[in-house]
Amino acid sequence: MRLCAVSLVVVAAACGAAATGSPPGAAPAPDRAALTAALAAQLARAARDWNRGDLDAFVSDYARDTATTFVDHGHARHGFDYIRARYAPRFAPGAPRDSLRFEEIEARPLGPDHALVTARFILYREGRTTASGPFTLVLEHRREGWKILHDHSSGDSE
């Protein structure tokens, strides 16, 4: 009978963890509204970095490792160095670079240290949109802040 009572407690704890999305004793996931506000502010800062031509500041939100993924023209590319090299030509002296802003930002906690963000990027010049599209980010909260582990961006014309 004692084994049944222990089993019942274990099953109840597991069901409770499944209902909350966190294992027993784990830190709770961040509040969705607060997370969205924090990550929207981070994206707004990234847009300012882009608009003033600061490549290193712009890419500083990506995790600096070889596992960081960027989906580019339908293919997953890996590594911080690839991502930086992909953006670098747009930041070269004299290179055309339209202004950037982000819209429709929504964040969803995937646990205490991970988040999913969906939003739209808008590139614009002289009051007209030159490129736009949806994107999805997977981020991890690290000592230095939220870092992008995966970026899948698509243009509206793709």
pLDDT, tens digit, 9 for 90 and up, residues 38-69: 999 999 999 999 999 999 999 999 999 999 99
pTM over 0.95? The answer is no
The residue among 98, 117, 96 whose CA lies nearest residue 107 is: 117
Query: What pLDDT, on a 0 to 100 scale, did the predictor assign at position 29?
Result: 75
Measure CA of the first residue to CA of the last residue in the chain; give whole Å: 62
The residue among 144, 117, 133, 154 whose CA lies nearest residue 60 is: 144
Residue written as tokens 């614009």?
A: 124
Q: Please check whether residue 118 is in contact with residue 111, taking contact to mean a CB–CB distance below 8 angstroms.
A: no
The number of angstroms, rounded, from the C-alpha of 124 to the middle of its chain's C-alpha atoms is 22
Query: What pLDDT, on a 0 to 100 scale, did the predictor assign at position 123?
Result: 96
Query: What pLDDT, on a 0 to 100 scale, did the predictor assign at position 158?
Result: 58
Query: What pLDDT, on a 0 to 100 scale, did the predictor assign at position 30?
Result: 80
**Mean pLDDT score across all residues of the chain:** 87
Query: What pLDDT, on a 0 to 100 scale, did the predictor assign at position 36?
Result: 97
Residues of the chain with pLDDT under 50: 1-20
Query: What pLDDT, on a 0 to 100 scale, did the predictor assign at position 21?
Result: 52
Query: What pLDDT, on a 0 to 100 scale, did the predictor assign at position 72?
Result: 82
Query: What pLDDT, on a 0 to 100 scale, did the predictor assign at position 74?
Result: 86
